[in-house]
Structure 1
Amino acid sequence: MAKDHYSVLGVQRTAKPDEIQRAYRKLARKYHPDVNREPDAADKFKEIGEAYNTLSDPETRARYDRFGSDYRHYASSGAGPGGNGGRWGPRAGARPGRGGYGNVEVDMGGDVDWEDLLGGWFRQQAGGPAQGTDHEAELWLTLEEAVRGGKRTVRLAQPDGATSNYVVDVPPGVLDGQRIRLAGQGGPGREGGPQGDLLLTMRIQPDSRYRLKGRDIYVDLPVTPSEAALGAKIKTQAPAGTVTITVPSSSSSGRRLRLRGQGMPNPRGLPGNLYAEIKIMVPPSLSKEERKLYEKIGSVSDFNPREER
């Protein structure tokens, strides 16, 4: 026995379209075969896709609500099997005054092939060709990939269990949560209508080296005590490549050095900045000579960082 589509998505039969869409997105992410390695994940994903395809289309949902799992055997206009007579109900989404029936049902008996006679009229009233549903997925990027952009190949599972590859041109400076639309890569159209689109939401993976705030990028810059005291030019790795940072003399831990425009690119305005935060590091162990030199510095210096200044 076929499973109830509403139960598959975990929604009530009175659920609104946005509730159905939210439920589908949540389950599709959970059971996507590229993410979920359970043996039945692909079958579950296909089942979820079938339920969503049925309930996301108002006309198909209306037939499903009326005829249950046998809804595919009924004409789109609502006639019984074979199209000969039957009981005709309101077209899904019909509105009084716009060609719909409202809540009126008309009983057309006899042997007339009403589907053949009125099929074109009903298709016209239903709006004719319609664009397919948009599909949604997430594309995970490293911070370096988000900064540099470039082409990415994405492999996505389809509702029928098959997989398809999509080539995505990621623009430099894309931010977490931004969307890229691939026109015509979504669900098939109805009655010859155009395909829907594929909407890819960009997600940037957390990185232990960098912190992204808006378009500004923060990175820790480890320096030796002598580099912090005397100043130095230090090469370090940034998401866009290697950069050289000038450390001023007498720099303490926590000091932030700004590299203007070296953060996240911005296709529509100014790029972000790169901030290097100084972290003074000491050797894990000291040689005899290093210890003597540190002791000498301690004996000649009157600097006390614990005094208020």
Structure 2
Amino acid sequence: MEYRDYYKTLGISQDASDDDIKKAYRRLARRYHPDVSEEPNAEAQFKRVAEAYEVLKDPEKRKLYDQLGENWQSGQDFTPPPGGQRTKSRQTYSAGTEGNFEDFSDFFESIFGHGARGGFNDPFGRDQRQTSEWDRHYGPSHGRDINAELTIELEDAFAGSTKTVTLSTTGQAPRELRVKIPAGVTDGQKIRLKGLGESSPNGADDGDLLIKVNIKPHRHFQLDGKNIHLTLPIAPWEAALGATVAVPTLGGKVELNIPAESQSQKRLRLKGRGLPGKKPGDQYISLLIVNPPAKGEEAKSLFRSMEKALEFDPRANLSG
């Protein structure tokens, strides 16, 4: 088994004080913490640092470690001392979305036994009952995210736009940001602007700005995800005979063919005429037959002639 020189891992001498040990750990934890480090193998290095600190910060563990003396020579294989408590039992520590990390090394367990970690907990400090050394000394590894909301017109969501957002954070003067709204943004979608949140308290990355986009109701269109819905009024003769009519869309008017003998609530689709995107939405047209007003004797006479000529009963399907 490979011997682990915990003093060398922390870069300190064997007569280092408790304060020296703590300072060395803080420095290396900041350097190798996976949330902020760009060092190669940062995750593995951080675990080695955490293991070394777990032993050397504890007077009893450190005493036992030091007592092994000449048997612990860096670079040589290590044979557990008599009474060593090596166990093959392992635990997995939850690290949120970052993945799972095994417990301390076999070398550690050979000396101190399974369960001798003294409550250090997962060095990443996530999903554990106790707070990690990193969190106690440094707080969150990243600056906190800031949440804001922005209300835009539907036309802005379709074409994209640039808007001004005013941010107010505790202890800081309000600041204005020009935010580019991408074409195709949907109602309730959050836009993440990296690094525009609160500053990190420990020199790590700043937090992000999360902007929730709210889209105002439109006087003609109804928004459903990326799809657009429009109720289109048509005349009785357009519904009966069929017609080609101009229909408004967010991208401008297009020609729509209305089939003959269409009825109210018939739905037609304009493919790809919704909000843009990798898969653009569609525009759905619901027909609504609107009768002309029966003003004047001539108009009334036309309706009477239609009534006699067509012998139409719109409620025929409701009869017993």
Provide the TM-score with structure 2 as the length reference: 0.53
Q: Does 1:293 align with 2:316?
A: no
Q: Aligned partners of 1:213 and 1:166: how far apart in 2?
A: 29
**Correspondence list, 1:1-309, <5 A:** 96-97=119-120, 126-127=137-138, 130-160=141-171, 162-267=173-278, 270-308=279-317
Q: Aligned partners of 1:222 and 1:129: how far apart in 2?
A: 57
Q: Confirm or deny: 8 A CA contact 2:245 2:258 kept in the other structure.
A: yes
Structure 1 residues without counterparts, runs of 5 or longer: 1-94, 100-121
The letter of the residue matching 1:282 is N
Mark the CA change 1:163 to 1:298 in structure 2 (over 3 Å): closer, same or farther.
Answer: same
How far apart are residue 199 of structure 1 and its match?
0.6
How far apart are residue 177 of structure 1 and its match?
2.4
Mark the CA change 1:153 to 1:287 in structure 2 (over 3 Å): closer, same or farther.
Answer: same
The letter of the residue matching 1:188 is S
Q: Deviations over 1:272-301 (max 9, x none)?
A: 211111111123442332222222222111
Q: Aligned partners of 2:250 and 2:168: how far apart in 1?
A: 31
Q: Aligned partners of 2:194 and 2:137: how far apart in 1?
A: 24
Match of 2:15 in 1: none
Q: Deviations over 1:183-202 (max 9, x none)?
A: 12111221433321111112
Greater shift, 129-138 or 181-190, is seen at 129-138
Q: Confirm or deny: 8 A CA contact 1:211 1:218 kept in the other structure.
A: yes
Match of 2:10 in 1: none
Structure 2 residues without counterparts, runs of 5 or longer: 1-117, 124-132
The letter of the residue matching 1:200 is I
Q: Confirm or deny: 8 A CA contact 2:187 2:225 kept in the other structure.
A: no
Mark the CA change 1:295 to 1:132 in structure 2 (over 3 Å): closer, same or farther.
Answer: same
Q: Aligned partners of 1:124 and 1:176: how far apart in 2?
A: 36
Mark the CA change 1:135 to 1:308 in structure 2 (over 3 Å): closer, same or farther.
Answer: same
SS at match of 1:241: coil
Q: Aligned partners of 1:124 and 1:135: how far apart in 2?
A: 20
Q: Aligned partners of 2:172 and 2:164: how far apart in 1?
A: 19
Mark the CA change 1:125 to 1:255 in structure 2 (over 3 Å): closer, same or farther.
Answer: closer
The letter of the residue matching 1:283 is P
Mark the CA change 1:181 to 1:241 in structure 2 (over 3 Å): closer, same or farther.
Answer: same
SS at match of 1:295: helix
Q: Confirm or deny: 8 A CA contact 2:250 2:273 kept in the other structure.
A: no
SS at match of 2:316: coil
How far apart are residue 133 of structure 1 and its match?
0.9
The structure number with the bigger radius of gyration is 2
Identity of aligned residues (%): 36
How far apart are residue 307 of structure 1 and its match?
1.4
